[in-house]
A and B are shown apart, each in its own frame.
Chain A
């Protein structure tokens, strides 16, 4: 081999790889599901609620499914990147989503023209629910929600309002104002690009009233006063927050967040057996008493609602968001 060039070497390596690939492939296809690690795609950065849920739940789900789980964080573009990535994966049951399905899937569709539909996703279980909470700093002169409405009715500029634009919280705030006959355009609205900054501004009395997802307020409970929570029933993790209904205002509302486990709808329709295995494993792990106890310690939910209830809740809320899309666009 006098004229052995680099190009030849490259060809040979390529050929070997190709051969290895073709020999290896059929064996993978034939083995029973699951025979290799499964990826949990989290469309948020490390450390958020979904990431914590995925990592805390993983050991229990591993036990139920018999394969290791790998958490893959794909943050960016308000979850659009992660959700797109999840749909791009082969529908073989080796990638599942742990996500805040609501509000992010409908939001990215309605406002960012994300290249997917609500129906492209199939919810297996959405155990965690969050609701918009109207709150004020603990040392604020505002005592209850009725007072907020009274003051704003007299002078819409009397109180500043902190809220994240294009969010369920924003829609709830505007719906309330419209119900009581205040033109939202006259309000002093201060916008925040995330729940965290909006909560800090509320706790620090930067804004008079904040409309933000309530769960994040739990560590700051002593620094804020809850005024109204946008839920029909008393919220388990914030029982002392007055319900919006109690303030006497009858307003339509959007649920803040619905978080949990989902797969692509394609997996369910094309690989029903694999899907069934997955669903059973998640159902089993969710109801495993050791998992329930472990997650409860971290303030994470495991309640098993099942695919039917979860998909209905998700699609209902998505439809409501579509109905109020003009409010979201601000």
Chain B
């Protein structure tokens, strides 16, 4: 629970280090710009500014870096919504409904929904963190491989809700994705599918692969058009509409809370990060929604669900880093390095002895989330101008930037080569009507599925009854089954209602026909 004297001291730190507040806006802008470039990840944006932060005092450095982190959490959704190309894996689920909204000319609203969901859930995540930073960290340590495997399966179930014309092709594509995701050295030290390339020992780089798969089809589609949006009157950038989207977010508190909880918990688990949370939050929101048929066709709830999970994952990830000194993902690993470079080692001792500082960091993140609202609207306004530009200018620019971005991921040509190969694969998949999304999800989750399954097998010595020794895993599986059963039940009820309506309608028609016959 919250320690009040430490909390007051934290407010004092915030007040006395007013100079560091000046770093919030530059940090947010850096984060937004970098993560909006397809191929540049949050981790990269932070790695680039890390050396810069060494010349600041500790609190300023933390403020600056966490601001970049906060900005980057949202920036990825901008290209996802406007062009159907996610800036990073974390904003993949945002494309499903975000881009569909753009196609309907609702890009302003979609960005507004995303921004506000991001802000609210960012704040929600940190407020919760203020209360549970210590217990959460201890729970996280208890999450074992079997629980993680259940979570990965849950993510894979998203595929069912994405839907495609052919079930067999969907399964085949998902299988291919999982296989591609397991290329490289696995957790037991076995090397598979590297074809002798040392670069592939770490697996296929997910960011260039994902962008290649998604961008190839998308760019070709766009190349056939003059503008991203067909209707001329839709090509408008309107702050009023963005704000309307922001306001509209408030109508879905349930979606926000569910997304946040999923985001915080998954974000807190070391080594998972936000690329799974957004998929699960999206799938769950879609499954439980009454209007689930309109998901993927521009339902704002889809955007909100995905973005809320991404934004709150940041808080969860920070909790693990502060309380245990364990980075939840690439971005917090860099943050951890920044702490250490300022001679501060996060972990149980840090949180006990330096509670005011921990609170000050959390409070500052809440301030950042609020500031993101203002900076974000400005950024969206500028970024949306892309809809007014002819595609013949945009496409080459995207292609060049994405190639450079994937080159920058680890400064070697392996990034652009991956991008090129997966562009070809993406083109073929689209051409033969295989769902590209299934391959992407497979690549994102394949490694986690295999690793956690293998570890569960090793831990249990091959005994399937091991599941019953792990209440956490049982709970996750239980919730999963329950959620499915409820959906099935709801669907059946809905189907019955629809059938009744149809019957009534049919009767009406018959009666009308009879009445009509009588007239003549």
Contact = CB atoms under 8 A, between A and B. Distances in A.
- Give chain A's interface residue range (CB within 8 Å of chain B): 35 or more
A168 to B, nearest CB: 14
Contacts of A81: 198-199, 412
Nearest to A199: B326
A191 B188 CA distance: 5
Contacts of B454: 191
A195 to B, nearest CB: 12
A297 B187 CA distance: 34
A51 B333 CA distance: 12
Nearest to A84: B198
Contacts of A157: 461
A192 B140 CA distance: 17
B340 A298 contact: yes
Contacts of A181: none
Contact of A74 (B140, B191, B411): B411
Contacts of B140: 204
B187 A193 contact: yes
B343 A298 contact: yes
B348 A222 contact: yes
Given A56-B341, A165-B189, A190-B458, A75 B410 contact: yes
A325 to B, nearest CB: 13
Nearest to B50: A46
Contacts of A197: 270-271
Interface stretch (A10-18, A213-221, A235-243): A213-221
A55 interface: yes
A189 interface: yes
Nearest to B338: A47
A127 to B, nearest CB: 17
B346 interface: yes
A234 interface: no
Interface string A182-208: 000000111111001100110111110
B346 A219 contact: yes
Contacts of A51: 337
B165 interface: no
A112 interface: yes
Nearest to B147: A206
A330 interface: yes
Interface in B350-395: 350
Nearest to A78: B201
A235 B451 CA distance: 33
Contacts of A75: 410
A306 to B, nearest CB: 27
Contacts, number: 137
Contacts of B145: 190, 206
A71 interface: yes
A232 interface: no
A180 interface: no
A204 B201 contact: no
Contact of A47 (B201, B336, B349, B459): B336
A176 B410 CA distance: 39
Given A55-B51, A220-B325, A196 B461 contact: no
A301 B280 CA distance: 44
Contacts of A74: 410-412
Given A219-B346, A298-B341, A188 B459 contact: yes
A76 interface: yes
Contact of A52 (B324, B340, B347): B340
A77 interface: yes
A46 B410 contact: no
A297 B345 CA distance: 10
Contacts of B143: 204
Given A77-B198, A204-B144, A298-B343, A191 B51 contact: no
Interface string A32-66: 00000000000001111001100110000000000
Given A165-B188, A196-B270, A200-B326, A160 B459 contact: yes
Given A197-B270, A219-B349, A221-B349, A77 B333 contact: no
Contacts of A201: 144
A220 B345 CA distance: 10
Contact of B451 (A193, A220, A298): A193
A52 B189 contact: no
Interface string B98-135: 00000000000000000000000000000000000000
B33 interface: no
Contacts of B350: 219
A207 B336 CA distance: 25
Contacts of A299: 340, 345
A100 interface: no
Contact of B348 (A160, A196, A220): A220
A223 interface: yes
B201 A76 contact: yes
A276 B141 CA distance: 49
A110 to B, nearest CB: 12
B201 A80 contact: yes
B341 A55 contact: yes
A200 B141 contact: yes
B230 interface: no
A262 interface: no
B54 A55 contact: yes
Given A78-B201, A219-B349, A330-B188, A206 B451 contact: no
B480 to A, nearest CB: 21
A209 to B, nearest CB: 13
Given A45-B330, A84-B198, 11 more contacts: A45-B333, A46-B50, A76-B198, A191-B187, A191-B189, A191-B455, A193-B185, A206-B144, A219-B349, A220-B324, A299-B345
Report, nearest first, the 3 A-B pairs whose CB atoms are least far apart.
Answer: A204-B141, A47-B337, A219-B347
8 contacts: A47-B50, A52-B340, A74-B410, A166-B189, A197-B271, A204-B140, A205-B141, A219-B324
